[in-house]
Amino acid sequence: MNIAVLGAWHVHTMEYSTALQKNPDSTLCCLWDSDPERGAQMAEKLGVPFQPDLDAVLSDPSIEGVSVTTATSEHPQVLMAAAKAGKHIFTEKVLAFTNEEAEEIAKTVKESGIIFTISYPHKTRPTLKAAKEILESGKLGQVTYARVRNVHNGSTAGWLPPHFYNAAETGGGAMMDLGAHPMYTLHWLMGEPKSVVSMFTTVTGKPVEDNAVSVLEFENGALGVSETGFVSTGLPYVLELSGTKGSLMVHNDLLEYSSEETEGKLVKLETLPEPDPMPIDAWIAALGGKGTAPNGIDEAVALTRLMVGAYESYRTGAKNVF
C-alpha cells in the first residue's frame, strides 16, 4: 500500500520513513513538507519524489495512508486535512498543543472512520510489558508510587536540531518531546490522574525547558513522577513501581521485582516477553487487516490533556486539577 510522508521537520522522520521502506506491505511513494527546501532534501535522501502541494497528495486515490512528522504546530491542519481526505494516519506525538485542538482532531478522525495510530514506542518494550503484567497480577499489591526517568544529552551535546527549541513549533521543550514517554507510560500503568504539579528549568539557556519533572496524583493516593531532560549523560531509562506488597525496578533492559513470593527480596525476571511490533509496523499491519492498530485517537487526546496540565502547573506555579 502507498504511504506518503507529511513533514520532514521531526528527528524521527528518517526512522519512520525507513521503516515504511523496509516493510514489505508498504511503499513510501512521496514526501511533502511546508518548507520546500527541507522537504526536497529529505525526499532526496529517501529516494522518493518531493510533492510541494499537500492537496495533491491528499487527493491522490492511490495513496492510502500518511506518516505525519511535521512540527507539532502543524498537526491540527495536516491531521484534519488527511482525515477528511480519508487517509489513514500514523503520527508522531504529541497530538496538539491544546485540549480544544486535540478534541477537534479526534472528532474529525472518528467521523472519517480512518485507522489512526500515534507513536508510543515505549509500550512495545519487553521490560515495560512485563512490568504491566506484574502490576496487573496483584503481586505488588496496591501501587502507591511510580517513577519514570527518560533523559538524554541532546542539548548539552548539541545534537538536537535548533528548531526543537522553537516554542511556536514545538509547544515546549524537553517535557513536550522526550517527557511524552514517561507521561503516557504513567497513564498506561496507573490510569487517569486527578492533578499534576510541575517544575521545569533551563540549564543551557535555551528558550524552552531542557530539564523537567512533573508529579501526578491519582485517585487512590498514589503518586507518579515523570522525569525528563535534554541535559543528562549516561543515565539509564528507569521505571520504579512501589506497592503495598512489593516493588519493581526497570533499568534499561533489566527488570527486578520483589513480592511476597520472593520474601521481599529483589529478584531478576529472567524471562521477558517478546517485544511488540513498533507502532508504525503495527499500523501498517492493521491497514492490511492484520490485527488492531495500537495507540488510537483517545490515547492521543489523553496525552495532550496531561501535557496541557503539566505546562499549566509550571506556568502558574500551582497544582493543576484535571
**Residue 281: what pLDDT?**
99
Q: pLDDT by residue (tens digit) across 8-44?
A: 999 999 999 999 999 999 999 999 999 999 999 999 9
Strands (E), 222-268: 223-229, 238-243, 247-251, 254-258, 267-268
Strand partners, 239: 148, 250
**Residue 170: what pLDDT?**
98
Q: pLDDT by residue (tens digit) across 42-59?
A: 999 999 999 999 999 999
CA 232 to CA 95: how far, in whole Å? 26
Could you tell me which of 178, 124, 153 has the C-alpha nearest to residue 235?
153
- Domain boundaries defined on the chain: 2-121+280-296, 126-267
**Residue 80: what pLDDT?**
99
**Residue 44: what pLDDT?**
98
Q: What CATH number does domain 2-121+280-296 carry, 3.20.20.70, 3.30.420.40, 3.40.50.800, 3.40.50.720?
A: 3.40.50.720
CA 256 to CA 37: how far, in whole Å? 49
Cell numbers 519493581 correspond to: 248
**Residue 85: what pLDDT?**
99
Whether the domain at 2-121+280-296 and the domain at 126-267 fall into the same CATH topology? no
* Record: fold of 126-267: Dihydrodipicolinate Reductase; domain 2 (3.30.360)
Count CA within 13 A, CB hemisphere, residue 190.
32
